Structure 1
Amino acid sequence: MSSNAFAHYVPVREDWLARRSEPALEPDLPIIDPHHHLWDRPDWRYLLPDLLADTNQGHSIAGTVFVQCRAMHRAEGPEAMKPVGETEFVNGVAAMSASGGYGATRVCEGIVGHVNLQIGAAAREVLEAHLRAGGDRFRGIRHITAWDPDPAIMNPAYTPPKDILFREDFRAGFAQLAPLGLSFDAWLYHPQIPDLTALARAFPETPIVLDHVGGPLGIRGYAGQKEEVFRAWRAAMAELATCPNVCVKLGGLGMRINGFGFEEAAEPPSSDTLAAAWKPWIDTTIALFGAERCMFESNFPVDKGSYGYGVFWNACKKLAAGASADEKEALFSGTARRFYRL
C-alpha cells in the first residue's frame, strides 16, 4: 500500500487513547466482531497480539471475522492469485487462536478475502484457491468499490471506475460467488448505495453485507451538508432494505471521511459521545433492516485512530439499550454468526 493510501487513515495515538478508560457494560454479552483487519505496514503493525490487547478489554469477544486489507499478498505468481497469500496468512493466525493458547476468543473464525471480480468468470479459479487456502474458514470476498468524483475522498490504494457495479466484467466475476456458497462484503460511499441495490436485485441468491453503515460522507464537498446527506442516505437505505439478501454492518464510523472529527478533540470520545453522534444512523438502519439483518462491527484498527475498542463496544451496548434479548443477540453475535456461517 502506498504511503499516500496510508495517510488516508487517522493515525493511532496510544497515549491519547489511554486517557479514556471505561468498565465494560454487560460484560457477559457474547460478541462476534465481524470486521477487523491484521497487517504489518511501515510504522503500523496490527497483528494477533495487538488485536488481543484490544479484544481483552472486558467485553466477551467470542470470535472475529477478518476482512481483506491487502495484507501479505504473494510477491510472485499470477497477479489475480496474489491475494490468496492473505488468506494463507490469516488462516495461520486463526489456527494459532484455535489452539486455545491465546485465550477464549476465536480470532479469524471467518475469513473474507479479495478477488478482482473484473477478471470475470476467471474469478472462480481464484475463489477456489482461497477456499483451499482458508480451509473451512473462508467465507467470501470484498472487492472495494468506493468511488467519489473528489479524489481527496478516495483511498489512493483503491481506484475503481465509477460504474463498476454495473460493468459486465465485474458482474461476470460476481456471478461466481453464489455457486460456491460465498458472500460479498460491499464497501462503497453513500451516493453509491442505489448501485448496490441494483446489484443485489440482479443476484438475489448472493448474500451481501454492506460495510460501515453505507459509508456516509461528511468531509470536503459533503461538509456542512449533514441533513442533506442523511436524507439521501436514508432514502437509499430504505430501498436497499427491500432486498432480503442484504445485511448491514453497524460501525466503521471512526474514519476521517465520515466527518465526525472525534480525532480532533483534546480527549478521546466517551461511549456516550459516540452513541449520541451515531444514534440517527444506527437507529434508522436497525429500523429499516431489522436486528436480524444488522451486526455491530469494530473496523479495527482503522477506527482506532478515533476511539478505543472497549469504549466502542460500550457505545454499541448503549445504542442497543432498548432492544429485546433476541434483538441484542442478533446485533452482537447472531446475525454475524448466521451470515458468515460460523
Structure 2
Amino acid sequence: MSTPGTVDAHQHYWDPARGDYGWLRPDMTVLYRAYGPADLAPLRASCGVARTVVVQAAPSVEETRWLLDLARHAPSIAGVVGWVPLDDPAAGTLIAELAREPKLRGVRPMLQDLPDDDWIANADTASAVDALIAHDLAFDALVFTRHANALATFLARHPMLRVVIDHGAKPPIAAGGESGFAAWSRAIGRFAQFPQVHCKLSGLATESAPGWDDATLAPWVARLLAAFGAKRLMWGSDWPVLNLNGDYRRWHASAQRLLAGLSEDERAAVFGGNAAAFYRLRPDSAG
C-alpha cells in the first residue's frame, strides 16, 4: 500500500509517435513504445510509491506542454521537470508562462547530449536562471564526470538556484576500475560542497553491467550517501529507462536494502520527503 509521503523523484512518460525523441530509436525494442501512468501504476503500488516526478525526455517545449497536460489528468504525477531553451533571450518569458502550471517544478537541459561539455558554464543563461529562481523552480543536471568543471562553475555562479544531480552523475559502474571511481568520486565531492545541490539515487542500474546486485552498487551508493547525506539524497527509479537493465521492483528493493542502515526518518526522507521538499511538491497531488 502506498503512503502520501513516498515519492519516485525521477521517471519518464513518452510516446514515440510524438516524434521529438531524437535518442529513442526503433531498435530500442524495450523502450520504443508508449509509456504512460497506467503502465507504472501497478509497479508503484507494489512498492508503496504514491507519487512521482516526471522528467522530460525530449529537448522540446512541446513535450513539456504534453507532460503538463498529462499531469492535469494523473493525480499520481506530483511534479513535472520540463525543458526550455535556456540560452534563448525569451527563455525568461517562456518560463514565466509555463510556471502558471502548478505542477511544473523544474527544468532540465539535456547536458549529457550536447556536443560541448562546457556549454553550461559558457552559455548565456542568466535571464533563464533568474526566472527559475523567481518562480521557485529547480534545475536538474544530467551530467557525467566529464562535466564536473563546467557544472561547478555554473553552481558557483548561481548559489540561489536549487540544483539536483541526476542519476548520481552517471558513475562508470560497468567499466569498473579504481581510476574511474576516483574521478567520479572527486566530481561528486565538488558538487556536494554547494549547499543548494541535492542528488538523485537513480540510474545506477542502467550504468551497471548486466547481472548487477546489491554488492555491485554498494560502494557507489555509499559514496553518494557520504557526500550528500540522507537530507540531500532522493530515490528515483529512472523508469522505464531502468527496463534496459533491471526493473522497478528489483531496483526499489535493492535501494531499500542498501539504505537499511539509516534511521526510519532518514529512509523516509530519501524515499520521499527530500523530493517533496526540494521540488516544492503540493500535498494535494497524491494518488
- Tell me whether 1:261 sits opposite 2:209 in the alignment: yes
Q: Distance in 2 between matches of 1:169 and 1:69?
A: 23
- Tell me whether 1:112 sits opposite 2:81 in the alignment: yes
1:172 positional shift: 4.5
User: What does residue 109 of structure 2 align with?
Assistant: 143
1:307 positional shift: 1.0
Question: In structure 2, which of residues 241, 262, 268 is the aligned counterpart of residue 323 of structure 1?
Answer: 262
Q: Secondary structure at the match of 1:109?
A: strand
Question: In structure 2, which of residues 202, 205, 215 is the aligned counterpart of residue 276 of structure 1?
Answer: 215
User: What does residue 121 of structure 2 align with?
Assistant: 166
Matched ranges for 1:14-33 at <5 A = 30-33=5-8
Q: Deviations over 1:255-308 (max 9, x none)?
A: 3xx3x222xxxxxx5xxx532111111111111111110001100111111111
User: What does residue 286 of structure 1 align with?
Assistant: 225
Q: Secondary structure at the match of 1:205?
A: coil
Q: Deviations over 1:7-34 (max 9, x none)?
A: xxxxxxxxxxxxxxxxxxx987952001
* Aligned structure 1 segments of 4 or more residues deviating by more than 4 angstroms: 26-30
Q: Distance in 2 between matches of 1:179 and 1:169?
A: 17
User: What does residue 56 of structure 2 align with?
Assistant: 68
Q: Deviations over 1:185-221 (max 9, x none)?
A: 00011121232222111100000000000112357xx
Using a 3 Å threshold, how does the CA distance of structure 1 residues 337 and 166 change in structure 2: closer, same or farther?
A: same
- Tell me whether 1:91 sits opposite 2:68 in the alignment: yes
Q: Distance in 2 between matches of 1:27 and 1:319?
A: 21
1:162 positional shift: 2.4
User: What does residue 265 of structure 1 align with?
Assistant: none
Unaligned runs of 5+ in 2: 18-31, 282-287
Asked if the contact 1:36–1:300 (Cα under 8 Å) also holds between the matched residues in 2, the reply is yes
Larger radius of gyration: 1
Q: Which amino acid aligns with 1:92?
A: D
User: What does residue 10 of structure 2 align with?
Assistant: 35
Matched ranges for 1:50-65 at <5 A = 50-56=39-45, 58-65=46-53
Q: Which amino acid aligns with 1:232?
A: A
Question: In structure 1, which of residues 22, 47, 66 is the aligned counterpart of residue 36 of structure 2?
Answer: 47
Q: Secondary structure at the match of 1:176?
A: helix
User: What does residue 158 of structure 2 align with?
Assistant: 203
1:53 positional shift: 3.4
TM-score, structure 1 as length reference: 0.73
Q: Secondary structure at the match of 2:54?
A: strand
Q: Secondary structure at the match of 1:117?
A: coil
Question: In structure 2, which of residues 91, 95, 102 is the aligned counterpart of residue 127 of structure 1?
Answer: 95
- Tell me whether 1:182 sits opposite 2:157 in the alignment: no
Q: Distance in 2 between matches of 1:227 and 1:237?
A: 15
Asked if the contact 1:30–1:60 (Cα under 8 Å) also holds between the matched residues in 2, the reply is no
Q: Distance in 2 between matches of 1:199 and 1:313?
A: 32
Q: Which amino acid aligns with 2:13?
A: L
Q: Distance in 2 between matches of 1:87 and 1:164?
A: 22
Q: Which amino acid aligns with 2:57?
A: C
Q: Which amino acid aligns with 1:60?
A: G
Q: Distance in 2 between matches of 1:171 and 1:254?
A: 35
User: What does residue 231 of structure 1 align with?
Assistant: 182
Asked if the contact 1:274–1:312 (Cα under 8 Å) also holds between the matched residues in 2, the reply is no
Question: In structure 1, which of residues 280, 283, 296 is the aligned counterpart of residue 235 of structure 2?
Answer: 296
User: What does residue 285 of structure 2 align with?
Assistant: none
Q: Distance in 2 between matches of 1:286 and 1:117?
A: 31
Q: Distance in 2 between matches of 1:194 and 1:91?
A: 33
Q: Secondary structure at the match of 1:89?
A: helix
